[in-house]
Structure 1
Amino acid sequence: MADSPDFNPFVPLEPTAAEAQSAIRDEFAFFGDWSERYQYLIDLGRKLPPMDESLRTEENRLLGCQSKVWIVSAGDASRLDFIAASDSAIVSGLVFLALRVYAGRSAAEILATEPTFVADIGLARHLSPTRSNGLSALLARIRETAQAVA
């Protein structure tokens, strides 16, 4: 966990994780094909708050991803904040979606919210195995962080 001036957490767009997942489903329903959805993922990834280079350490690196992904958390059971970054444009979009659902929430809400958006928008069927494994590792890390403070 980090509490430093370099920590610029992701601020959720919706008041609850369930509302975030619903909004993600609605947004992805607008796109007719997966080339448009991939472009949207890339655009979302560009909206991630910047992660200071000092936080891009091996200790903060998420294993299980082909791309490099770093994730740092701060907070307690009442509110967990996250910041994350990737060296891949599409993976950055996946990170954005995960943080949109889980960042800024209580540990209890995180643990009670299954990532249904993954199946709902067809990610499970359209990601390469390495990206799928990376997304699973990211979601597991968020859940583990919530369990540790709950």
Structure 2
Amino acid sequence: MSENAALPESFAEIADDFHALGGKDRLQLLLEFSNGLPPLPDRYAEHPELLEPVPECQSPIFLATEVDGTGREATAHLFFSAPPEAPTTRGFASILAEALDGRSVGDVLDTPDAVTGQLGLAEVVSPLRLNGMSGMLARIKRQLHEKAGL
């Protein structure tokens, strides 16, 4: 059984991938995630004012959420803007996108806030940087709560 069995399923596989690696390789995997951050759709790329900043991050990152439906069963969609020269921040955003985009609002809201500390990155990334990922998750949850009518 996975050592991350208590994590939400969407994060457990990602955490297992990080925990299977040593420190230097964990940083490499985070870099690979940063390269996989989906581009913003035109409706946000052309209107960056629609994105919310995440001041907890050391690098400039902005995010937006959309909800298909209402209530906890609605589908959550996540969008991030982070500069290429901020690979750690982009990597965090990409992890959140992979783990949470397309999930139900209820699943996202039920994601423990501590999940960002359970990915095995504390050994290779500063607590201040991990705080940025927590800030992203908090904003995602708040936006989804409001947009899903909860």
- TM-score normalised to the size of structure 1? 0.76
Aligned-CA RMSD value: 2.2
Classify the secondary structure of the residue corresponding to 1:74: strand
Match of 2:130 in 1: 132
Question: Does 2:19 match 1:29?
Answer: yes
| Cα distance, 1:80 vs structure 2 | 1.3
Q: Which contiguous aligned blocks of 4+ residues in structure 1 show a shift greater than 4 angstroms? A: none
Report 1:46-125 matches (<5 A). 46-51=35-40, 52=42, 53-57=45-49, 59-75=51-67, 76-77=69-70, 78-87=74-83, 88-115=86-113, 117-125=115-123
Normalised to the residue count of structure 2, the TM-score between the two structures is 0.76
Gaps in structure 2 of 5+ consecutive residues: 1-6
CA contact 1:108–1:146 (8 Å) conserved in 2: no
Is residue 71–residue 83 contact of structure 1 (8 Å, CA) maintained in 2? yes
Structure 1 residues 49 and 92, CA gap change in structure 2 (3 angstroms): same
Q: Deviations over 1:87-133 (max 9, x none)?
A: 21111111111122221122211111215543333234543243122
Residue aligned with 1:57, SS: helix
Identity %: 26
Report what 1:10 is aligned to: none
Which stretches in structure 1 are left out of the alignment for 5+ residues?
Answer: 1-16
Q: Distance in 1 between matches of 2:19 and 2:121?
A: 12
Note closer, same or farther for the CA distance 1:35–1:65 as it changes in structure 2 (3 Å cut).
same
